[in-house]
Structure 1
Amino acid sequence: MEGRLLIVILVSLSSWLSAGLTHVQPDFNDVTRNLERHHRIKDVQCPDPQDILPCVCIYEDVSDGLVLDCSQVQDEEQLAEIFLADFPSKTFQVLNIINNTGLRLLEDGVFQDISFSEIYIQNSALEEVRDDALSSSFSTVNVLNFQDSQVFSFPFHRLQEFTILHSLYFERNTLHYLSILVSSSLKRLYLSENPLGTATGDTFKNLTVIAVINLDSTLITELIPGVFDELEMLQELSLVMNHISLVPTGAFNLTFSTAPSVRIDLASNNIDKVEEGAFSERKMWPAEEQHQPAVHLVHVQMSLGLKNKNISTD
């Protein structure tokens, strides 16, 4: 104990003497980081504020990029006019259009050549997103969030062109139909509280890295076997508060899964029968190394909304 205390005192004394005799040397790593940040800020410049009113552009330290807020835009015409202005920087981190009641349509090419990494159009009157409305961000956007809007039309058939999109939020909109979804990047898909009805067998099968699908309150009445097959990375599937009464054989075939566990939530439905083989899971995965015990690959956690507690799941 005494030895440790002595070391601390000596180090402190040495530091004090050094400070008195020499100048403190700069931390060149800090200098380099500050220079790099300065150059980034210099490289990313906002447009003239007067040219993009009522949009507002700021540099945000948290995201280390430009944020464009167009929440006060009046209509489609004004939004299109704003993006005809001179934008010194073409790459933005975030686009926000929040609590907007004037914008109902995103026209083809509305953002010109300006791209975004994250787009949030929430609690809005937006109803339709045209096929090429987001084309300038096909290769840059990783989050699309349209929560609490009125969207009934979105180019889902072009989903694969969003090459790094990993999260798509459409909770509480008015989507009635999903085309076949194709993506090698999408990991999270939230579609709760849309009047979708029953999904077809091919709707999700081409989402090759999907981990989370939320279909709560989407008016699903029937589980069609095969809809959730071949989703190797699936970890969570939520079907809460629908109108499902039967879980048929083959409804959830998880023999393809490579995830360590899969949570399937069917709470708050009207289920009165679960057929034998409704949940097919691959129980064991051969060990990669000799003498190493095999591990459980898939453990299904079920939350069933059963009408009758005495229902048999044969």
Structure 2
Amino acid sequence: MSILHFVYVILLVLVAACFQPSHVLAAAQFEDTASPSSYLNNSPCPNAEDIAPCVCTYWDVYHSLDIDCMSIEDEQQLYDVFHANIPDPNFRRLDLGTDNLKTLTDTVFGDVTFETVWTHSTGFYGILTSVGPETFMKSAPTLRELYMPYNNLSNFPFQSLSQYTELTDFVLHDNPVSNFPIIQSENLRYIDLGAATFDIIPTGALDGLPNLEEFDVSSTTSIHSMAA
């Protein structure tokens, strides 16, 4: 190979290195500077002391927050948690213990929003009896799944469900709902009112649910008739 040819090859290599596509360079820079630990160090979770006994988890892969309030002791403590300094009020999931909660008031969650809400009890049943009509209203544009089984809910604002524009799953299994609720929703696909205490499903009660795919009233053995 002549010296001139050798110099020409070297120049081609240098030019190619200088003109790599921008997305390749960006990816290389990202690999050098980003790591799971850097995401965790910048977690948007509130200070642990501010929201105790609730616990916030930041999923760096999905850039989302969960909050576990299974150990909550009373309504005032729950209120204080969600009115603390919360840098990012948008949570993916709330797990809420209902061993010590009787009511969820309209203002208990402040400006915090959720995509999924699960209530739980360390025993078989929680003592939750009432949910306010505005309790989850801040989550009206975000809430997809609302699971509140095995409580003592006889007072639930069914009429507000029409305002939850993303809600697809609604579970109130094994709660003492004595009158079949009239529910209207364009997006609900799954409803579970199994083991309730109503005995009549009015004619046309499901007409306001055009996209309903499954309606579960299993174990509600007292249902015996339809009323006009």
Task: Mark yes or no: TM-score above 0.5.
Answer: yes
Which letter does structure 2 place at the counterpart of 1:220? I
Corresponding position of 1:270: none
- Code of the residue aligned with 1:222 in structure 2: it is S
More helix by share: 2
After the TM superposition, which residues 267-286 of structure 1 pair with which residues of structure 2 at under 5 Å, given as runs?
none
Match of 2:113 in 1: 115
**2:225 counterpart (210, 216, 222):** 222
Q: Which residue in 1 is equivalent to 2:198? A: 196
Distance 1:189 1:43, change over 3 A: farther
Identity %: 25
8 Å CA contact 1:43–1:89 kept in 2: the answer is no
Report the equivalent of 1:174.
176
Query: For 1:234-293, what per-residue CA distance to the aligned partner results, in whole angstroms no more than 9, with x for missing partners?
Result: xxxxxxxxxxxxxxxxxxxxxxxxxxxxxxxxxxxxxxxxxxxxxxxxxxxxxxxxxxxx
Seen in structure 2, the aligned counterparts of structure 1 residues 39 and 162 have a Cα distance that, compared at 3 Å, is farther
Q: Label 1:38 to 1:210 Cα distance change in 2 as closer, same or farther (>3 A).
A: farther
Q: Which residue of 2 aligns with 1:162?
A: 164
The DSSP-based 3-state class of the residue aligned with 1:186 is coil
Taking the aligned partners of 2:29 and 2:176, their CA distance within structure 1 comes to 52
The within-5 A match list for 1:226-237 is none
State how 1:47-58 maps to structure 2 within 5 Å: 47-58=46-57
Tell me the residue number matched to 1:278. none
- CA displacement, residues 13-53 of structure 1 (integer Å, 9 cap, x when unaligned): xxxxxxxxxxxx98966876996989987886111111111
Distance 1:210 1:152 in 2: 23
Once residues 111 and 173 of structure 1 are traced to their aligned partners in structure 2, the CA distance between those partners, rounded to angstroms, is 23
Which structure carries more strand by proportion?
A: 1
1:80 matched to 2:79: yes
Q: Distance in 1 between matches of 2:28 and 2:215?
A: 43
Distance 2:185 2:42 in 1: 32
Deviations 1:172-199 (A, max 9, x none): 1111123321101100001111112111
Greater alpha carbon shift after TM alignment, 185-194 vs 197-206:
197-206
Which SS does the other structure have where 1:149 is aligned? coil
SS at match of 1:115: coil
Aligned to 2:9: none
Please state how far the C-alpha of 1:104 moved relative to its aligned partner.
0.9
- Contact kept? 2:105, 2:132, Cα under 8 Å: yes
Q: Aligned residues, how many? A: 201
Deviation string 1:144-179 (CA, Å, 9 cap, x unpaired) is 000111111111011111110000111111111233
**Aligned mates of 2:198, 2:167 — CA distance in 1:** 22
TM-score (norm 1): 0.58
Give the partner amino acid of 2:223.
I
- Give the TM-score normalised by structure 2: 0.78
Distance 2:194 2:61 in 1: 30
Amino acid at match of 1:79: L
Question: How far apart, in 1, do the equivalents of 2:192 and 2:128 lie?
Answer: 18
Distance 2:130 2:43 in 1: 31
Shift of 1:64: 4.5
- C-alpha root-mean-square deviation of aligned residues, in Å? 3.0
- 2:189 is matched with which residue: 187, 190, 204? 187
| Mapped partners of 2:39, 2:207: distance in 1 | 41
Q: CA deviation at 1:63?
A: 5.9
Match of 1:143 in 2: 145
User: Which amino acid letter does the alignment assign opposite residue 199 of structure 2?
Assistant: G
Distance 1:128 1:63, change over 3 A: farther
Quick one: structure 1 residues 36 and 79, their matched pair in 2 at CA, closer, same or farther if it must change by over 3 Å?
same
- Unmatched 5+ stretches in structure 2: 1-19
Q: Report if aligned partners of 1:139, 1:162 keep a CA contact under 8 Å in 2.
A: yes
In structure 1, list runs of 5 or more residues that go unmatched: 1-24, 226-314
What is the CA distance between 1:202 and its match in structure 2?
A: 2.9
CA displacement at 1:73 relative to structure 2: 0.9
